[in-house]
Chain A
Amino acid sequence: MATGPLFRVGQKELYLPNFEIIFKRTPSQPPTSATFLVPLWFSKLDLRDYLYHAYSLTIGASIRSYVQQSRIRQGQTPDPVRPQYKRWHRPRATKRMTVELDRPFVWPAEPESYTPWNKEETKMANEDQMEYQRRQGGDKDALAVPDERRVKMREQARALLEGKQTWRPGGGRMAEGVGMYGRR
């Protein structure tokens, strides 16, 4: 399929391009179409020549272009040093182009397992972090004592009452030298 282009190749010489073209997955579209995220200054002819020269992709006659405006967001910059709630900005718009392919292309299937990416561990860590922050928050006194700690306190009280354990200040840990300030 090493045929020449079916269109007139542009004359603009671009030696060292310094931008990214992102291939975007669009399951709702047929396999004969492909969508790319392109810079805002990109034109349809630019994308056609770029795909032909860089990826040897001969595309059909139809290219559709769309500029997606961004919603306004709080803060002065997209990545602020500190939150600025009274300042608003609008992030840069994104431009996407959909081309018609002469040969269909289907994206690879999604991975069956996300173990290499530690997806489950990330979720558990997030939940644990959220719970810890809730326990350390401003309303921590209003929260009930966790069940695990309540069971341990009951066992400790029962041991003291039955005489199996003698009371020592600091729970016995300071007497052993492993108190708040002690390091072993």
Chain B
Amino acid sequence: MSDFQYPAPERTDVVHVEHPCTATGVPALHLEVSNWLPPLSLRPHSSAMPPCKMHCTSASLLRSTILSSSIYASTLPPAFLLPAFAQTAPFSSTPTHQARKDHNRNRGVSALRHTGIGKHQRLSVRVSALPQPVLDPARRSAVQVDPDHGLWGFFSKERTLISTPEEMNGYGRSWTIQELRGKDWDDLHKLWWTCVKEQNRIATGELERKRLAGEDGMYGDYEASERSKEVKQTMSATRFVLTERWYAYENARVEGMEDEEVDLYADPERGERAYLPKDETEDTFLGSAEGNERVDRTRRIPPPDESRRPSEARV
């Protein structure tokens, strides 16, 4: 019956140990005790030895007790070991399998470990009812693109992927400094942003054209660079005009502070005059306390107007 052959025991005594598990329905422990005993794990099961459930602590204690005192096999374990046999709680703190049964059907189902759907797990959607993805791009439904989409600003008027060299070559000249000197700030600002968007358009087209060209390349880079040069010249002229205008304003402000006939602190909205000619001042405000106060030469140069040029502005 068994794969293990053992020499016949010389003397066999049957020890009946009354285990506390007996009260719970577990059959009593029957152990063959002899002079030579293999380890318990190697001993084959036989019909004469029904399997016994016992805690590891009790088993090891009992085994050590019996094996060490095989000479006194017929005697019961000493009395001070009896509380150990009466122990019902396991020594190990690992929860048993019964403790995990919390009626959670998704217990143990993991998306990371590819455990799949459990045997008794029921989803809200059946697999057969799931929609099938269209893997072929040609069979997918076309997306309706809004003609007023803001991203069309990165393309040319024709709304093609890349412009031909003829289309890229169809530009005029850049704005000159003389032309821009007559424009106010709003016009210059709009022109600058037009140039910025044109540069974005050229760079987007160039990136795509180089991708389509491949290793051998194709025409169009010269036209794009020439077109970009004109845009940069316009932007450069705009900066020049603005810088020139700022220096003109700064020089006029310093001159105005040094000029006795100009009062930069005057508020025209309240009827105050900023320009007071010298002869007129002598006639009007001669001997008047108000006039002397307004033309105060001890005042220093005021700082530039902070409300017009915020400090956070990045030019």
* Chain A residues with CB below 8 A from B162, complex form: 111
Q: Give A109 to B143 CA distance when docked, in angstroms.
A: 13
- Do residues B150 and A117 form an inter-chain contact, with CB atoms below 8 A? no
Number of A-B pairs whose CB atoms are under 8 Å?
109
* Chain B residues with CB below 8 A from A14, complex form: 314
Q: Give A31 to B153 CA distance when docked, in angstroms.
A: 17
* Chain B residues with CB below 8 A from A116, complex form: 164-166, 219
* Chain A residues with CB below 8 A from B199, complex form: 20
- Do residues B235 and A54 form an inter-chain contact, with CB atoms below 8 A? no
Q: Which of A77-85, A118-126, A148-156, A167-175 contacts B (4 or more CB under 8 A)?
A: A118-126
Tell me how far the C-beta of A31 lies from the nearest C-beta in chain B, rounded to whole angstroms: 5
Q: Give A126 to B153 CA distance when docked, in angstroms.
A: 35
Tell me how far the C-beta of A126 lies from the nearest C-beta in chain B, rounded to whole angstroms: 5
- Do residues B200 and A117 form an inter-chain contact, with CB atoms below 8 A? no
- Do residues A18 and B217 form an inter-chain contact, with CB atoms below 8 A? no
Q: Give A20 to B200 CA distance when docked, in angstroms.
A: 5
Chain A residue nearest to B314 (CB atoms) is: A14
- Do residues A25 and B196 form an inter-chain contact, with CB atoms below 8 A? no
| Most chain B CB neighbours (cut-off 10 Å) among A14, A16, A31, A117 | A16
* Chain B residues with CB below 8 A from A66, complex form: none
* Chain B residues with CB below 8 A from A109, complex form: 161
* Chain A residues with CB below 8 A from B219, complex form: 116-119, 122
* Chain B residues with CB below 8 A from A139, complex form: none
Count how many chain B residues have C-beta atoms less than 8 Å from C-beta atoms of the other chain: 48
For A1-39 the 0/1 string (1 means CB < 8 A from B) is 100000000011111111011111100000100100100
For B144-163 the 0/1 string (1 means CB < 8 A from A) is 11101111011100011110
Q: Give A61 to B314 CA distance when docked, in angstroms.
A: 27
Size bin of chain A's contact surface: 35 or more
* Chain A residues with CB below 8 A from B314, complex form: 12-16
- Do residues B154 and A119 form an inter-chain contact, with CB atoms below 8 A? no
Interface status of A132 (Cβ within 8 A of chain B): no
Interface status of B208 (Cβ within 8 A of chain A): yes
Chain A residue nearest to B209 (CB atoms) is: A117
Interface status of A93 (Cβ within 8 A of chain B): no
Tell me how far the C-beta of A36 lies from the nearest C-beta in chain B, rounded to whole angstroms: 9
Q: Which of A100-108, A157-165, A176-184 contacts B (4 or more CB under 8 A)?
A: A100-108
- Do residues A126 and B216 form an inter-chain contact, with CB atoms below 8 A? yes
Q: Give A103 to B148 CA distance when docked, in angstroms.
A: 10
For B190-224 the 0/1 string (1 means CB < 8 A from A) is 00110011011001100111011100111110000
- Do residues A22 and B153 form an inter-chain contact, with CB atoms below 8 A? no
Q: Give A104 to B140 CA distance when docked, in angstroms.
A: 15
* Chain B residues with CB below 8 A from A12, complex form: 312, 314
From 85 to 111 in chain A, residues with beta carbon under 8 angstroms from any chain B beta carbon are 101, 103-111
| Most chain A CB neighbours (cut-off 10 Å) among B150, B192, B314 | B150
* Chain A residues with CB below 8 A from B278, complex form: none
Q: Give A137 to B288 CA distance when docked, in angstroms.
A: 97
Q: Give A56 to B219 CA distance when docked, in angstroms.
A: 33
- Do residues B160 and A103 form an inter-chain contact, with CB atoms below 8 A? no
Tell me how far the C-beta of A5 lies from the nearest C-beta in chain B, rounded to whole angstroms: 12
- Do residues B196 and A56 form an inter-chain contact, with CB atoms below 8 A? no
Interface status of B268 (Cβ within 8 A of chain A): no
* Chain A residues with CB below 8 A from B315, complex form: 15-16
The 8 Å CB contact of B153, one of A37, A55, A122, is: A55
- Do residues A13 and B151 form an inter-chain contact, with CB atoms below 8 A? no
Instruction: Name 5 interchain pairs, CB-CB below 8 A, sorted by A.
Output: A23-B151, A23-B200, A55-B153, A55-B154, A114-B218
Interface residues of B (CB under 8 A from A): 142-146, 148-151, 153-155, 159-162, 164-166, 189, 192-193, 196-197, 199-200, 203-204, 207-209, 211-213, 216-220, 235, 238-239, 242, 310, 312-315
Interface residues of A (CB under 8 A from B): 1, 11-18, 20-25, 31, 34, 37, 51, 54-57, 101, 103-111, 114, 116-119, 122-123, 126
Extra A-B contacts (16), CB below 8 Å, given A25-B211, A105-B151, A108-B160: A13-B312, A16-B242, A20-B199, A55-B150, A55-B154, A103-B146, A106-B145, A107-B161, A108-B159, A110-B161, A110-B212, A111-B162, A111-B212, A117-B220, A118-B218, A118-B219
